[in-house]
Every structure is written in C-alpha cells, then in structure tokens.
Structure 1
Amino acid sequence: MQVDFYQLGGTPAEQVIASLAGKLLAQGQRLLVVAEDEALLSRLDRMLWDQGPASFLPHGIAGGTDDARQPILLSTSEDAPNQARNMLIADGVWRDAALSYDRSFFLFDAPTLEGARLAWKLLAGREGVERRYWAQNEGRWSQQA
C-alpha cells in the first residue's frame, strides 16, 4: 500500500484534490475524499461542479441514495460505499483507516505539519507501506522522499 504525503503551499487544497481526482478517474479508479470539516467538503463539491463541461469530475457527498455509484465520494467517514480503493485525507488529520486502501493521499499544510511529521515517522518501516513525500517547487509537484 502506498501513502503519498502532499505538503500544501500556495495551491488551495481544493485544486490539489481536483487534480489528483482527475488523474485517478482517467485511470478508471474511484476515490473517497475524507474530511471532518463539512464546509471544506461543500467548497470541494462546488469546485468540482464548477470545473466546466470539459473538466467536470463526477462526484457526490456521502449520505445520498447514489453513494455506491459515485466515482468520487466526499465524506466525513472513512468507509467507502463507492468501493473506492483510494482514499484522500483532505483535512490534515491522519487516519489509520487510510492503511486499508490500496493507495492513500494525505494533504497537510503549515497548521497540520506536526501531525504529518508524526504520521510519517509512525509509518516508517511499517511492513507493506511505501511512503512518498511531495512538495511544490516553482508551482510543480516534485517527490522529495
């Protein structure tokens, strides 16, 4: 299982999430986006709808009747009724449930940096877990570790 740590800088979380989600959808994969903050999920919902017809990302907020059909599901829970094998933690709060997915994305910023460092250390040497750390350099993502 792979965990990708993304340190947010100047790019808003919603943009990074939309980019990652778009890449996963292009590969025919599903995604569960998790955050405790329902306001963040609402902002992300609006952004994904407002991408325009050429870049619309099909998605839904968990709790609807079509959760199982959603390629991208936004939720406050770590459960994936859409059968996603990819989880994205959008609020910078590590959840061990991420380890039950094939691949997880962990987004964090300056206020959640210490928690991200702790999660990085706790996953070090853990059998079956591959960690990657990404940061932005001149607007482009590059793998740092």
Structure 2
Amino acid sequence: MGAAFFYHLTRRPLAETLMMLASKSRANGWTVVVRGQDMAQMQALDVALWRGPDDGFLPHGLAGGPHDADQPILLTTSAAAPNAPDCLMSVGGAEITAEEVAAHERVCILFDGNDEAALEGARAQWRVLKDAGASAQYWSEESGSWEKKAET
C-alpha cells in the first residue's frame, strides 16, 4: 500500500519542485503520471521538463500522443494513466482517491501555499484521504528545506 505525500509549496515554484520529485521517482525506477486540471498548466510543465533539472533531461510526454503507454513521465488532465505509473503526482488541485493511494507506490500532492483556495483544497483532500484510512504525510518547505510536519 502506498502513501500520499502533500507538498506545501511556499518558496520554490511548482515546476522546480515537480522536477525534483520526478527526478527522485525516476531514480527509484518508477514511471510517473502528473495529473492536473488545466491543459495550459500541463503545457507549461511540459516546457519546464524539456529544460530539465540542471543535471539532466527528464524524458516525458503530454498525454494524447501515440506513445503515451511508453512515457516514463506522462502529463495529463485525465484520470487515465496508460503508462502504468508507480507514482501519481497531483498538481493544480487534481483530485486523488484513497484507492489511488493504495494502488501506487507513492502519490504526491503539490499545492501552492500562497493561494488560499489551493491551501483549502489540500486541507480538504487531506481530510478525505485520512478519513478513508489512507497513509499520508505533510511536507513543508517553510524553513528553506523540506521537513515532514505531520503523518497519519
């Protein structure tokens, strides 16, 4: 059974944090799906991932192409995950179910702590997953480095 890791972004931009987490996931040998709600946001993340982290390229693709099932990192606005991901990442408030947490090695929920609506959405998501019995951790970068602040 997996766990949901909530990442409260207050210092680093979404793209930078996503690259860090995607790099770590790939280092574990995991395939990743990044689920959002807004195609424009997914396209912006696509551009950021093409630039990649300072130390390398992150192979990925936007959903809707002929090779979605082969993508090590797939960006999508759909609940479908044809690349059979080990890690599911939620951005832009995309909903995650307790069943999805159980079905993946890791679920990462990234949210903008400077956006009150995003903060409230993450709190609601935490309660839903906690009430369903899913394992969850809350990580904050408020101190300048990532620290685990809570766990269910």
Relative to the length of structure 1, the TM-score reads 0.90
Q: What is the match of residue 64 of structure 2?
A: 63
Alignment gaps of 5+ in structure 2: none
CA distance in 2, matches of 1:20, 1:79: 21
In structure 2, do the counterparts of structure 1 residues 11 and 79 end up closer, same or farther at CA, with 3 Å as the change threshold?
same
Structure 1 residue 139 corresponds to structure 2 residue 144: yes
Relative to the length of structure 2, the TM-score reads 0.87
Structure 1 residue 84 corresponds to structure 2 residue 85: yes
Q: What is the match of residue 104 of structure 1?
A: 107
Q: Which residue of 111, 120, 129 corresponds with 1:123?
A: 129
Contact map agreement 1:94 1:115 (CA 8 A) in 2: no
Residue identity matched to 1:103: R
Counting aligned pairs with the same residue, the percent is 37
Task: State how many pairs are aligned.
Answer: 144
CA distance in 2, matches of 1:125, 1:55: 39
Structure 1 residue 3 corresponds to structure 2 residue 10: no
Cα RMSD, aligned residues only: 1.7
Q: What is the match of residue 73 of structure 1?
A: 74
Contact map agreement 2:140 2:147 (CA 8 A) in 1: yes
Contact map agreement 1:31 1:88 (CA 8 A) in 2: yes
Alignment gaps of 5+ in structure 1: none
Deviations 1:32-90 (A, max 9, x none): 00011111111111111112784100000001011111100000112111111211001
Deviations 1:91-137 (A, max 9, x none): 1232326434332111112231111111212222533x211000003
Residue identity matched to 2:120: E
In structure 2, do the counterparts of structure 1 residues 26 and 135 end up closer, same or farther at CA, with 3 Å as the change threshold?
same
